[in-house]
A and B are shown apart, each in its own frame.
Chain A
Amino acid sequence: MTMTTRRGQARPPESNRPLPHPPLIELSGLRLRGQAQERRDVPPAPFDLVVRRGEMVMLTGQPRSGRSALLNVLGLLDRPAAGSYLLNGIDTAKLRDRERSALRGRQIGFVFQRKMVLPTRSVLDNVMLPLRYAGMRRQQRIDAAVESLDRVGLAAMASFMAWQLSAGELALCALARAVVTKPSLVLCDEPTGGLDEPAAAKVIGVLAGLNREGRTVLVATADQLAAAYSGRSVRLGEPAEALAWPVTLPITGSRAGSRQ
């Protein structure tokens, strides 16, 4: 019942059949806490969402519609204001900091909106960072990081300092860091934001490749290319539509882009 059963099976994006895999993410009655400036925009009504293993889901919605806040909750960086969040069947509300940190480190890969890296460290150091906290030995860390960089096509720049990278390379570096621990869930917040078309295509290509390997990928983006690879799209309520929440959720199996 693990994702490895799907490894190597390419799932065409237009597939519309019911997913046989168990749910990885189960949100029920979830209410987001939101951040100060977003608070008034956060949908006031609780909502439900189920994401199964191996799915690639696109989160759409207006800016400040709570996509980042939702990703923070899904990535165990924040706790929901109300409702329950089951990750892999485990109620995350009952987890302690130590267990949440371990899950973040091993199960979840996060690509942040602002492509956060430590600018004064080398690309290799940045990619190795999660492995440090996993307690891996240095040589193992280097091997895993090089492999991860190789996958995103950035291996040649491993010794560059992070501040020397272009925006596209930064995005790939952040992506390599997110997948270096081989997580089962990859969360991406605007991974193609601010990138030119070739760079965006490369990022989306890597994400699609990860999904083909059986990893569950959630992408918050308005990128049409991402929509083409996503199994379905989930549209978060716009501020003006807040009262209509949660009628738009979940929208399972629809072709991404048809909702746009």
Chain B
Amino acid sequence: MLRPADAVGEAFTSIVARPAAVTATGFGTLLAVGWFVAVLGLVSTATGKVASVFTQRLPTSILVTGPVPRLLNAPFPFPADVERRVDALSGVVASGVFWQVRLRSPVVVSAAPLTGPVGRGQAAGPRQATPALVAATPGYLAAAGVAVSQGRLFDAWDQSHAADVCLVGSALARSLRISDLDSTHTIYINNTGCVITGIVSRPAKQPSLLRSVLLPTSEATTMFGPPDQRAGARPTVLIVTRPGAAGQIARQAPYAINPALPHRLVVRFKRGPTLLRAQVTSALSRLFVVIGWVGLAIGVVAIAGLTTFCVLQRAPEFALRRAVGARRRHIAAQVLAESVIVGLVGGLAGASLGVAAVVLIAKAVGWTPVVAPLALWPAPLIGAAAGMIAGIAPAVRAAWMRPSAGLSRFPPL
């Protein structure tokens, strides 16, 4: 009875003794496994690329409002430190509170003090307007991407001191004939003077701000009282997230803002093409995985053919082994063991080749190479399995050769 260690040793010695044939078979395994790993690596690389393209197009804004008010004087729906709470969430870029100031009569804004009583019908005068008034925190300015062409944004100091400052939209500034802050640095809101800190030129998120006056929320509360939620001046938290984080932040934000009653807050955000992304990447993966397996299968068939050829060449050797006492299963085991060992080594080399191919191709295209460890670690085992599958037919063939036929083919001296 052949000892297992001897069987493996015999297989090893046979492999070393036939470098050319083994190199050919091993090269086949290398190509097959290399192809498999490369295709899987390219799938994950391409999927990563597609995902990142989609992610860049995912919405990053979330709006959180309080419950629909039923009382006349509904309490302010957010805690005072709402921005600090939201900013603490991982994935939040900026956040801030704002509301539209709504009063029973329109607010008249003028570039010069009005002489008569403020009231309906006076807004049509020169350098007067009835624009929208927006109360906002400095955090909101950052979240909304507000930028000024002149002056500066109002900041935390203005907010904490309820300073009489404001930002004027560039369109409104034009209609009020404010060309620069040196000549006109004050506007009058319902005849109350208010220093213009800057002229808003680029509100990335909300173009309507160009026609509005922005006030710190503390000043707006001082000037007009708390937001009249019944009139539609509902305080809102604007949260801007990093790409792809919106969905998660939308789930977390209510708990951060009001842990006791998170479900009373209303969260709005666009979900974006996540389903499309999933469909595209899964279709891509399926296609490439099929290509990978087909390549591997072709490789296995090729290796099987090559191994069969080698086995036929070695008929005399197997006949000799049979003549000195080897059983059929010993011959089959030897062929299989050799095939598995070559497959294992070829698989190792193939994995390296595959990774190298993925990295080079990704570098050439300018993508980030992504190789999943799950595609890489089993590669030698896949090589060994390929070797085993490819070795079955040749092993059976070798085992059932007639020894006497093999002996007659031994090369003469």
Residues of A within 8 A of B (CB): 35, 68-69, 72, 75, 77-78, 97-98, 101-102, 104-106, 110, 112, 114-116, 118, 120-121, 125, 129-130, 132-135, 137, 167, 170, 177, 181, 194
**B interface: dominant SS:** helix
With A77-B404, A115-B413, A116-B407 known as contacts, the answer to whether A129 contacts B2 (CB < 8 A) is: no
Q: Which of A72, A97, A129, A170 contacts B413 (CB 8 A)?
A: A170
Q: Which chain A positions have C-beta within 8 A of B321? A: 129, 133
**Interchain CB contact under 8 A, B323 and A133:** no
Cross-chain pairs A/B with CB under 8 angstroms, 14 sampled:
A72-B407, A77-B323, A77-B404, A77-B407, A102-B325, A110-B323, A116-B410, A132-B10, A133-B2, A133-B330, A134-B325, A135-B1, A181-B325, A194-B413
From residue 323 to 351 of chain B, which have CB atoms closer than 8 A to chain A? 323-328, 330
Which A-chain residue is minimally distant from B325 (CB atoms)?
A: A105
Bound Cα distance A167, B413 (Å): 7
Q: Are A101 and B327 in contact (CB under 8 A)?
A: yes
For A135, give its contact among B2, B408, B411, B412 (CB under 8 Å): B2
Q: Which of B398-413 contact A (CB under 8 A)?
A: 402-405, 407-408, 410-413
Q: How far is the CA of A134 from the CA of B330 in the complex (A)?
A: 11
Residues of A within 8 A of B404 (CB): 35, 69, 72, 77-78
Q: Which residues of A contact B412 (CB under 8 A)?
A: 114
In the complex, whether B6 has a CB less than 8 A from a CB of chain A is: yes
Does the CB pair A114–B403 fall under 8 Å? no
Contact at B17–A121, with CB atoms within 8 Å?
Answer: yes
Taking the complex as formed, is B244 at the interface, i.e. its CB lies under 8 A from any CB of chain A? no
Bound: A104/B6 CA distance, A? 19
The answer to whether A114 and B410 have CB atoms under 8 Å apart is yes
Bound Cα distance from A125 to B17, whole angstroms: 13
Residue of A nearest to B320 (CB): A116
| Contact indicator B413/A77 (Cβ below 8 Å) | no
A116 to B328 alpha-carbon distance, docked (Å): 19
From B1, B326, B408, residue with most partner A Cβ within 10 Å? B408
B377-389 vs A, CB cutoff 8 Å, 1 = contact: the mask equals 0000000000000
Q: Can you name the residue of chain A whose Cβ is closest to the Cβ of B407? A: A112
> Which interface residue of A114, A121, A134 has the most chain B CB atoms within 10 A?
A114
The answer to whether residues A114 and B402 also contact, given A104-B324, A129-B324, A130-B325 and a CB cut-off of 8 A, is no
Tell whether B3 is near chain A: CB-to-CB under 8 Å: yes
For chain B, which range describes its interface: under 10, 10 to 19, 20 to 34, or 35 or more residues? 20 to 34
**List of A residues within 8 angstroms of B328 by Cβ:** 97, 101
A69 and B407 CA atoms in complex are apart in Å by 11
> Judging by beta carbons under 8 Å apart, are A101 and B405 in contact?
no
Is B322 part of the binding interface, using a Cβ–Cβ cutoff of 8 Å? yes
B316 at the interface (CB under 8 A from A): yes
Q: Nearest CB to that of B323 among chain A residues?
A: A110
Closest-by-CB residue of A relative to B409 is: A114
Inter-chain CA distance A181–B325, complex, in Å, is: 10
Instruction: Judge whether A132 and B2 touch: CB under 8 Å.
Output: yes
Beyond A135-B1, A135-B3, A194-B413, 16 extra complex contacts between A and B, CB < 8 Å: A68-B408, A77-B319, A101-B322, A104-B322, A104-B323, A112-B407, A114-B413, A116-B320, A118-B320, A121-B17, A132-B2, A132-B6, A132-B10, A133-B326, A134-B325, A135-B2
B160 at the A interface (CB under 8 A): no
User: What is the CB-to-nearest-CB distance from A136 to chain B, in angstroms, rounded to a whole number?
Assistant: 9
Would you list the 3 A-B pairs with minimal beta carbon distance, nearest first? A105-B325, A120-B17, A130-B324
Q: B320 touching A77 by the CB < 8 A rule?
A: no
B4 → chain A closest CB, angstroms: 10
Complex Cα distance, B402 from A133, in Å, reads 18
Q: Which residues of B contact A98 (CB under 8 A)?
A: 327
Chain A CB within 8 A of B13 CB: yes
CA distance A129 to B317 in the complex (A): 12
- Measured CB to CB, the nearest residue on chain A to B411 is A114
Output the residue of A69, A75, A105, A167 with the most chain B CB within 10 A: A105
Contacting pair B13 A121 (CB below 8 A): yes
Complexed CA–CA distance, A125 and B407 (Å):
20
Docked CA distance A75–B320 (Å): 12
Cα(A35)–Cα(B406), bound, Å:
11
Q: Is the CB of A118 within 8 A of B317?
A: yes
CA distance A182 to B309 in the complex (A): 36
Smallest CB–CB gap between A177 and chain B, Å? 7
Encoded as 1 (CB less than 8 Å from any A CB) or 0, chain B from 150 to 164 comes to 000000000000000
Q: Are B325 and A106 in contact (CB under 8 A)?
A: yes
A133-B407 contact given A114-B412, A116-B316, CB 8 Å threshold: no
Interface centre among A115, A133, A177, A181 (most CB of B within 10 A): A133
In the complex, chain A residues whose CB is within 8 Å of the CB of B326: 101, 105, 133
For A77, list chain B residues within 8 Å (CB): 319, 322-323, 402-404, 407
Task: Mark B139-159 against chain A: 1 for CB-CB distance below 8 A, else 0.
Answer: 000000000000000000000
